[in-house]
Structure 1
Amino acid sequence: MKLMLRAFGVASCVVWGGLASADPILGTWQTEADDGAYAHVAMKPCGPAICGTIEKSFKDGAAFTSPNQGKTLVIDMAPQGGGAYEGKVWRPSNNKIYLGKMTLNGDRLALRGCVAGGLICSKQTWSRVK
C-alpha cells in the first residue's frame, strides 16, 4: 500500500509539474482576415521556443484547402516574460518573413511583424479557438 501511495504521489507531481510549465500560448488561434482569408494556427513547442503551423484555412467564412496549410507561420517565438514573445512571422500573402513580437492577453494574441529595422510594421490580433 505504501509503495502504491508513493507511486501515485510521484505520478501526481509529474502531471501537475507538466501542466504548470505548459506555456499559456499553446493551442489553436484564429488569425485576422488577410486578403480575404484567415486561418487556424496551432501553437506548439519547437525546442525552447514556440512555433505556429497553419492547420485550417478559410475564405469568406468557408473552409478551403490552401497551399499554405501545414506551413510554419510563427517561427521560433521565445518567451520574454509577462506574456511577451519575440521571434519571426511569415506572411503568406507576400511570402516575406518579418521580425515578430507577440503579446498574450487572455484569449487575445497581439502580433506585430516588422522589416527595415522596425520602420515598416504590420499588426494583427488573433483570438483563441475554443
Structure 2
Amino acid sequence: MSRKVSLALAATLILSGAAWADPIEGNWKTQAGDTAAISGSSSFSITLKSGKYAGKTIGSLKAAGDNKYTGNITDPANDKTYSGKATLSGDSLKMSGCVLGGLICKSQTWHKL
C-alpha cells in the first residue's frame, strides 16, 4: 500500500513540475519604459506589448542553464537581428545583443512587472 502511495506522490510531483512556468516568462519593463512579454516553453518569444513598436516580435531565446538564455534579439527601430543572450537575476533580466562573435555588445536591464 505504501509503495502505491509513494509512486502516486512521485508521479504527481513530476507532472506538476512540468506545469511550472519558467521564471523568464511574463511581462517585463524595458529600459525604454515599454512592456515586453516573454512567453513559450522550450523556446521563448519576446513581443513588445506597449510603446511605438507594440505588437512587434523582437527576439527568441532558449534556456542555456543556470538562469542564462541564448538566441536572437532584433532592434525594433531598424529590424536588424543580433546574437542575443539574457541572464536572469531575481526580478532583473540583463539583455544583450552582440555582433562580431560577441566582440561588440549592447546591453540593457529589464525589470519584471
TM-score class, shorter: 0.7 to 0.9
In 1, Cα distance between equivalents of 2:68 and 2:103? 20
TM-fit CA distance, 1:15 = 7.2
Which amino acid in 2 is paired with 1:19? Answer: A
TM-fit CA distance, 1:95 = 2.3
Per the alignment, in what secondary structure is the counterpart of residue 17 of structure 1? helix
Overall identity of the aligned pairs, in %: 38
Indicate the structure with greater strand content.
1
2:19 aligned with 1:24, yes or no?
no
What is the number of residues matched between the two proteins? 104
Which amino acid in 1 is paired with 2:109? Answer: T
TM-fit CA distance, 1:74 = 2.1
Question: Pick from 44, 69, 75: which aligns with 2:54?
Answer: 69
What TM-score, normalized to structure 2?
Answer: 0.80
Please list every run of 5 or more consecutive structure 1 residues that lacks an aligned counterpart in the other structure.
1-8, 58-65
List per-residue Cα deviations over 1:8-52 (Å, max 9, x = no partner). Answer: x8xxx38733433x211100001102xxxx310110006x21111
Following TM superposition, the consecutive aligned residue runs of length 4 or more in structure 1 with deviations greater than 6 angstroms are: none
TM-fit CA distance, 1:91 = 1.0
TM-fit CA distance, 1:120 = 1.8
Per the alignment, in what secondary structure is the counterpart of residue 56 of structure 1? coil
What TM-score, normalized to structure 1?
Answer: 0.71
2:45 maps to: 51
